[in-house]
Structure 1
């Protein structure tokens, strides 16, 4: 989310930093042998039985931290291994650079004509530029952050060597779609700093004046010296993953939509047919004339949609050529349909929490026709709710409520039916726990004060928010005995991560993000290496309650990964994503 002057301005005249993919009308995109699922016509199953002892799933979604940013120096319990900055020798437990820091060395490059995923390298940074404050609370705005050195060594640096862990606000790295593809440099992950120094929007300045963010993206928290103590405790006591990914390159909106649908959003008319958005809302990451990689139109200036089925469109060709050059074919059903303009930066959903059509800005995603996990659960009489902090039950939501984060507010099937009543304020979650009325599936979204988003929140605040929820559920033994609590983040927020990324479609996957499982059935201290992403949460819910994939396009159709002992992180049958079952032990003595 873009946050200005301590507030969230969602889908204002400045488009937000997220990213969207999108889904065409399901009837138009359906596989011939799946017409009913594709149209969202779901078969009823009254049983409500589960395939495991888990009767309650709770998903808590924070904001904007990669796995290495939080777990970069995590040392697992005896018998477990992990892939992170420390295990790779990139950093040391004390937060200094390690012997293999060259793996994370940041390069300089030049790109002055057309957007390029692998621009020509011009060298490496001698030292990293000073991180920028952006809009960090309590700091001067959009200036080099004087709390950090101006000559950081070229590699990841420990944030808390310079600012305290608790309740400290640091700048917000840019993290939009084309930027995140470019900073990966085809898997080398060596252009994070260069992209953040060049691609940022200049808000229409003439001559162009890019936003120079310095080395914001290279910061990490150090568990070895005491940062994120509660998350470390959860990983030591229960289960975590070091191969769980954001499902879409880019930011908040698209990843929340994917988490609820396994799909994405596109510009469409009232009949669900793809149409062309206004020209000022079409993405163009080609460099402005006379600049090195300063994008022509990227998010903040009004966009951005891309017709990603047309390789001649700005930015599209390089991404499509890269994913189609891989040794496996991408998931074609979930890729770009002809004529569809997919949203790659955050806009408001088509509906308000109360079910009214959104208004007041041109930057609104038209109501979407895709089926959601809420539709499928309701069709099988499995209860569910989305608890949004600050939603206020749809009556004048708090200014800190995340309007772009609720995947169900985008869907006509939810917001024009009684299912919209399943969207409730977070205060109702606390009542439901106390009264033993918690639904089978719960999604919890903190507001911008508590979500951990850099600049407007902090990792420590989200850590304590998660702790309060876990403690509350654990204090109800009747509830906790058959519950699985998943704690994750919507996306990496532009922070550096050293892990492998498996491209599935044009839209992603993106970098690794943390995932922790708290449950009596979690494997103790286990670090799961299975390749997973946000849609793995859908696959777990679907497997547990015997549900169908949501549509022929949704990524929950992908098979579970087959992993080799030689490389447990990279599926041998890609594209493939897991269903999180490996994190559980359902055969333990009770």
Structure 2
């Protein structure tokens, strides 16, 4: 999606947090040499000749798999296995392991990575409602014809879910569908930790739910990391006990505005909040039927319970990491590092301040100086723009927010290098990519429907460069790409019918990259619609490597989509591949989410550099070369998919600084989850049992 269009559509306006006219997250794109395979494609080292990577949105491992019970002989690390919750979703004997605290940072002039003045919540702040009140009235999808004409990426029996799931509530009020949340004070009697979303009949699995904050500095703070916290339970010194507090104190889109006089961290009539409450602590219960297709895939194929989003925060940077194995930085558009606009006027007005400053405003408890996706004073065009803090020069300890993280990394028993080049301002949160789908420069475009919150084109290397240089075929398949090509400013975002354009531009990593997008032949050969994916699967013309992204309708993003819609998107692809036996017997389908969406997770997260890792997220591998129900504990993140591709086709790494250079984990006999040779990430080969295909499972339930 085009980042500014989010403010005008209720369907997606809920992806951000605080300010009424805000923006949110979309995806990526890329550049290249020549699309022509001048030499024969190299032979794969395994029976896997086709890799399909499907990326949904915003769910942590515990959020989905909190109560998952593994098949015999396997173990899993989740809320149930730790005793944090019981099978029925109620607090378990070890619930205190996930306790959440409030904190007082009022007297601190700088960003607090690990505030010291903490108090256990008596009850969680009331989770607030988000998502469409009514699927028809709010989203405009009222009939099956509306559903099928607006989206073509679902298995047939899942289209019904585009018509259902409305919250029945207005936004930003206590979500009384949740057991323990009330219409009158006390608005919450929830215990101070994880709670089941679907614990009552008023909140079925099919219902829309609110979206927590998921930005870079916020997630670092939610993890509450300090070397003094290191223990067997917390090997990295991260307690993950400030998820609710950060969510209610700063949220996701301050954009440099003054904290309202009637701001409150708890809901009350007449008060202004971040609009979230303790949404981050919610989870589903598979033992009671939630996420049924996800559970089916986990039972019948293989998954990881130690797979992570590669960066703290949200979609933009985490998708970029999947394609580049690295963060990207602000440039002059020609490959030279530059300084982003800082309290500066732009073609669209201003002033905008694109440099992050998470230092709290004096006299406030964690209300940050400058952080946000960018604000707009006018819903129809980029006028009255302001805010937008999303870049950081993490090589400079004097820059806001940098020193607490870098000092923490350096204080670990195995000190971690930040991997920040001098004078480079890295993009930490969601900005539009530097190119439109037609290859034109989005950063220099002055059309009033464009936005200043766009990163200049980058010539940093991505996995596409590696594949092209080594003659490995690939495509990036993006749901509703065709509509986007004729709607570059996404003025049809959220509309209903055949022109519906819910394409996610910040999710297509290649859209940031000059080598791909500025070369017409490369771009048109490799960036495709998902309609082409279905055709390539049916015709047996699938490339070796495929990246697949659903549209905003069905990506599973909280508030704007639902996880059952993403399940339907995945099922259509899995069914199609299995319907082509020759393709099925040479394919691995990696099913994951871009990031955790800000939801709580109890798992270990390994510090790899300044940028992450973040929370665990789901990863399931659907392939005939998996052992049904197998659960890998090897540490991994999105860059592990790049390592798998590189090992499978004997390819070099993306660059000399990308994370695919990290070694495979070495673990001790007492902990399979924590690498002793940190920083280290796996290549996912342990999810497979190569040899004759032994897993003939079908996706049909």
Whether the TM-score (by the shorter chain) exceeds 0.5 is: yes
Change (3 A) 1:387 1:160: same
Q: Cα–Cα, structure 1 residues 151 and 515, in superposed 2: closer, same or farther, change >3 Å? A: same
Q: Is 1:100 aligned to residue 151 of structure 2?
A: no
Superposed displacement of residue 585, structure 1: 0.3
Distance 1:259 1:547, change over 3 A: same
Q: Which secondary structure does the structure 2 equivalent of 1:179 belong to? A: helix
- Specify whether residues 305 and 94 from structure 1 end up closer, same or farther in structure 2 by C-alpha distance, changes over 3 A only: same
What is the distance in 2 between the residues matched to 1:567 and 1:587?
29
Higher mean alpha-carbon deviation, 417-426 vs 566-575, is at 417-426
1:153 to partner: Cα distance: 1.3
The separation in 2 between residues aligned to 1:383 and 1:262, in whole angstroms, is: 19
- Does the 8 Å contact 2:410/2:417 carry over to 1? no
1:397-412, aligned counterparts within 5 Å? 398-412=500-514
TM-score, length basis structure 1: 0.92
For structure 2, the 5+ residue unaligned runs are: 135-168, 182-187, 226-237, 264-272, 343-352, 374-386, 491-499, 695-701
Could you tell me which runs of 5 or more consecutive residues in structure 1 were left unpaired when the two chains were aligned. Answer: 21-38
Task: Name the CA distance, whole Å, in 1 between partners of 2:321 and 2:133.
Answer: 30
- Encode CA deviations 1:180-216: one digit per residue, 9 max, x unaligned: 0000011101100111110124563553635152110
The alpha-carbon deviation at position 371 of structure 1 amounts to 1.2
Tell me whether 1:305 sits opposite 2:391 in the alignment: yes
Cα distance in 2 between the residues matched to 1:472 and 1:587: 23
Q: 2:292 aligns with which of 210, 229, 232?
A: 229
How do 1:20-419 residues align onto structure 2 when only pairs under 5 Å count? 46-112=40-106, 113=108, 114-138=110-134, 139-148=169-178, 149=181, 150-162=188-200, 163-186=202-225, 187-200=238-251, 201-202=253-254, 204-205=257-258, 207=260, 209=263, 210-279=273-342, 280-300=353-373, 301-331=387-417, 335-358=419-442, 359=445, 360-392=450-482, 394-396=485-487, 398-417=500-519, 418-419=521-522
Cα 1:199–1:456 shift into 2, 3 Å:
same
Q: Show the counterpart of 2:10.
A: 6
Structure-1 separation of matches of 2:258 and 2:472: 52
Deviations 1:2-59 (A, max 9, x none): 8544344799984536899xxxxxxxxxxxxxxxxxx99xx99745111100000000
Render the CA deviation track for 1:232-254: whole Å, top value 9, x for unaligned.
Answer: 11111110000000001000011
Q: Is the 8 A contact 1:71 1:223 kept in 2?
A: yes
Shift of 1:357: 1.1
More moved, 278-287 vs 300-309: 300-309
Task: Provide the C-alpha distance between the structure 1 equivalents of 2:127 and 2:399, rounded to a whole number of angstroms.
Answer: 33
Query: What is the CA–CA distance in structure 1 between the aligned matches of 2:608 and 2:481, rounded to whole Å?
Result: 33
Matched with 2:384 is none
Aligned partner of 2:534 in structure 1 is 430
For residues 380 and 560 of structure 1, the distance between their equivalents in structure 2, rounded to whole angstroms, comes to 23
**Distance of 1:505 and 1:45 partners within structure 2:** 37
Point out the more displaced range, 289-298 or 436-445.
Answer: 289-298
In structure 2, relative to structure 1, the CA distance for the partners of 1:62 and 1:165 (3 Å cut) is farther
Report SS of the residue matched to 1:381.
coil
In the alignment, the residues of structure 1 paired with residue 132 and residue 372 of structure 2 have an alpha-carbon distance, to the nearest angstrom, of: 20
Contact residue 329 and residue 575 of structure 1 kept, 8 A? no
Aligned to 1:491, the other structure's residue is in SS state: coil
Secondary structure of 1:530's aligned partner? coil
Mapped to 2, the partners of 1:340 and 1:361 lie a distance apart of 22
CA contact (8 A) 1:474 1:480 kept: yes
Q: Deviations over 1:384-439 (max 9, x none)?
A: 11111111172326531101110000011111122212111111111111111111
Pairwise CA distance, 1:286: 1.0
CA distance in 1, matches of 2:528, 2:25: 26
Report the TM-score, using the length of structure 2 for normalisation. Answer: 0.78
Matches within 5 A, 1:518-557: 518-557=622-661
Deviations 1:489-530 (A, max 9, x none): 000000000000101110001110000000000122100000
Structure 1 residue 541: Cα displacement: 0.5
Superposed CA RMSD: 2.3
How far residue 273 of structure 1 moved from its aligned partner, in angstroms, is: 1.1
| Separation (CA, whole Å) in 1 of partners of 2:259 and 2:615 | 34
Q: Distance in 2 between matches of 1:173 and 1:241?
A: 24
1:587 to 676, 686, 691: 691
User: CA 1:566 to 1:70, structure 2 compared with 1: closer, same or farther past 3 Å?
Assistant: same
Helix, strand or coil: the match of 2:117?
strand
Q: Tell me the distance in 1 between the aligned counterparts of 2:452 and 2:318.
A: 22
**Whose Rg is larger?**
2
Q: Assess, with a 3 A threshold, how the Cα gap between structure 1 residues 251 and 241 changes in structure 2: closer, same or farther.
A: same
**TM-fit CA distance, 1:298:** 1.1
Question: Do the aligned residues in 2 keep the contact of 1:19 with 1:177 (CA within 8 Å)?
Answer: no
1:361 Cα deviation after fit: 1.2
For residue 510 of structure 1, what is the aligned residue in structure 2? 614
- Cα deviation, 1:140-169, whole Å, max 9, x if unaligned, reads 122222222121111211111145444311
Tell me if the contact between 1:376 and 1:548 (Cα under 8 Å) persists in the aligned partners.
Answer: yes
CA contact (8 A) 1:17 1:250 kept: no
**Residue matched to 1:16:** 24
Matched residue, 2:267: none
For residues 111-154 of structure 1, the C-alpha deviation after alignment (integer angstroms, 9 at most, x for no partner) is 12221111023311111121112455534122222222121111
1:479 corresponds to 2:583: yes
Cα 1:14–1:306 change in 2 (3 A) is: farther
